[in-house]
Chains A and B, each alone.
Chain A
Amino acid sequence: MTPGGGGPMKDCEYSQISTHSSSPMESPHKKKKIAARRKWEVFPGRNKFFCNGRIMMARQTGVFYLTLVLILVTSGLFFAFDCPYLAMKITPAIPVVGGILFFFVMGTLLRTSFSDPGVLPRATPDEAADLERQIGNAEDIANGTSSGGYRPPPRTREVIINGQTVKLKYCFTCKIFRPPRASHCSLCDNCVERFDHHCPWVGNCVGKRNYRFFYMFILSLSFLTVFIFAFVITHVILRSQQTGFLNALKDSPASVLEAVVCFFSVWSIVGLSGFHTYLISSNQTTNEDIKGSWSNKRGKENYNPYSYGNIITNCCAALCGPISPSLIDRRGFIQPDTPQPAAPTNGITMYGATQSQSNMAAATPLLQSEPSLTSEELPLPGKTTLGTPCATLSLGQPTPPSSMPNLTSETVLTDMIPLKEDHDGHQFLTPEEAPSPPGMLSTGSPITHSHTLHVLSLASQDSLHEDSVRGLVKLSSV
């Protein structure tokens, strides 16, 4: 066994640490047991995984099922009740086109909901320690030069991109400096690249990797909604020419339901498509647009450094650009042989294979170090009041796509108020689609849940941190 690792092991990880001197009988068996675990099982974010890691969604998926039901039921009714009449009377191309649209909508919806939006894996302990050291050094310098007053530690870095100064913020949860345009989703507890928003309707964040699917989804859904609405109306009109309006309605009651659903959906979905078309053509994210990061109102010199200059290039880049692969490797097996840094002071030089970095990352929810984090993560009172502006916006559309009054209880709309974000230094961004009312409200959230988690974990994080430095990492709870 490893020197210093003797005694009854609570965790199988210890036998893996000794790659060369452990007893051959014990470790293969335990290695096999651990090797069967895939990385998604120890993923630190608040995500749900299905199909052995192939499918990744946010934790709250209720609204997604609602979306599915709405689309399936409405389309189903359309194909069952309206299409036969229309195919006979007008042309059979109608159900065909409808079918194609329907499959496209479902395909893009599932693709948006099930794929990794561009989650950034959390920093390994070595990286985090290295960054902390750098920040600490800079902090010493800052505090040293300040005259008596306390300056907050420099948790931001500034980069000049295309002539614009962009601030990179340090994420306390993930222990990284967020790349530009990345943001931390408080619902999923992940940093997401090119974070657009968290959409409860698709049950996932919308970020770099699934933005085009999301856009295709809302675009095709608007076509489908308009298509169904138009042909339902046509159907009712044609029937009422024969049998009178009321009889037509009696003959096909499903049409009424479809018309109602479509009528109320059309405004929101088409509005949303228009909004995102604008965003794509100007190469902005919903996040940036809501915060007004690149608007002229902030200053004459303010412009979007990521825009390619013309609309066509922006569109092509967003929709047809290369898709980067998922960085979190959900289905990979946890590797037992990644070496850990030696702690020469103990005389124990190699702890070699604790589990892989992803397991270390799994421990990081317990390693959230900043006390200020708890205050940042609290659902600020201001948030609930933000629900009301949205409620007023939605008055025109009381039907399913905008069941907002139910959703406003604990909604996180922090980024409606740009000032808050600067104050926090830790973004949790579930911005709402302001221009298109019912849009994307995040459902009442585990924010309070996360608050208790942070409070509980603060006490243990110091000892954990020490332990990890010595290489004695206990990851059994994960």
Chain B
Amino acid sequence: MEGHNLQELRRSASLATKVFVQRDYSDGTICQFQTKFPPELDSRIERQLFEETVKTLNNFYAEAEKIGGSSYLEGCLACATAYFIFLCMETHYEKVLKKISRYIQEQNEKIFAPRGLLLTDPVERGMRVIEISIYEDRCSSGSASSGSSSSSGSSSGGGGGAGGR
């Protein structure tokens, strides 16, 4: 149901703009995103919520790329089996990526969609950016009434050309 609401959001609201949160390379090549708050989101979401989301994502990626005992074990085992083991087993990184996409889905449903925003999983953008789509409610002529957008969208049944409401 919740996922369906997101689809409705996409259809009923019009995409106004996209904001991109770039990678933060100050710690090297590990995957990290800047926690700097984009000014376009100022009116849409609380700074703290956003920063928390980005920080959690960064932590997930750090976990995926962590070099330690378990990753060595996995690497050595894979090498010993001439990497055939990856035909049956998922790598640790892939497991964490699945966790991340579940987390993003959750965040979208609970926090971002009600505010007319949508996070795109960085994996779909080559891990370059976190793409945040900002939606305007099409039915309420330009004003950003985030709370009502999904409900009014679903009630109008994906209203194409619902001019006079």
A and B co-occur in one complex: yes
A residues whose Cβ falls under 8 Å from a Cβ of B? 3, 19-21, 103-104, 107-108, 111, 120-121, 123-124, 126-127, 130, 159-162, 166, 168, 176-177, 179-181, 193-194, 212-213, 216, 305-306, 313, 316-317, 319-325, 327-328, 339-342, 344, 349-350, 352, 357
Determine if A322 and B91 form an interchain contact, defined as CB atoms under 8 angstroms apart. yes
**Given known contacts A319-B75, A322-B74, what 8 new A-B pairs fall within 8 Å (CB)?**
A126-B18, A161-B25, A161-B28, A316-B72, A323-B93, A327-B126, A328-B126, A350-B14
| B18: A residues at CB distance < 8 A | 126, 130, 341
A-B contact pairs, 6 of them (CB 8 A): A159-B25, A161-B25, A176-B128, A193-B29, A212-B79, A350-B11
Determine if A127 and B129 form an interchain contact, defined as CB atoms under 8 angstroms apart. yes
Say if the beta carbon of B45 comes within 8 Å of chain A. no
Min distance, Cβ A86 to any Cβ of chain B, angstroms? 25
Determine if A127 and B20 form an interchain contact, defined as CB atoms under 8 angstroms apart. yes
Say if the beta carbon of B66 comes within 8 Å of chain A. yes
A19, A21, A161, A325: which contacts B26 (Cβ < 8 A)?
Answer: A161
Say if the beta carbon of B119 comes within 8 Å of chain A. no
| B136: A residues at CB distance < 8 A | 342
B residues whose Cβ falls under 8 Å from a Cβ of A? 10-11, 14-18, 20, 22-23, 25-29, 64-67, 71-72, 74-76, 78-79, 82-83, 91-94, 97, 123-129, 131, 133, 136, 138, 158, 160-161
| B16: A residues at CB distance < 8 A | 341-342
In whole angstroms, what is the CA distance A104 to B81 when docked? 10
Q: Which residue of B lies closest to A104 (CB)?
A: B82
Determine if A3 and B26 form an interchain contact, defined as CB atoms under 8 angstroms apart. no
In whole angstroms, what is the CA distance A373 to B25 when docked? 26
The 3 closest A-B pairs by CB, nearest first: A320-B75, A121-B126, A21-B160
In whole angstroms, what is the CA distance A305 to B66 when docked? 18
Determine if A320 and B25 form an interchain contact, defined as CB atoms under 8 angstroms apart. no
Q: Do A306 and B28 contact each other (CB < 8 Å), given the known contacts A322-B66, A339-B15, A340-B15?
A: yes
Determine if A159 and B26 form an interchain contact, defined as CB atoms under 8 angstroms apart. yes
Determine if B71 and A321 form an interchain contact, defined as CB atoms under 8 angstroms apart. yes
Determine if A325 and B160 form an interchain contact, defined as CB atoms under 8 angstroms apart. no
Determine if A124 and B125 form an interchain contact, defined as CB atoms under 8 angstroms apart. yes
Min distance, Cβ A98 to any Cβ of chain B, angstroms? 16
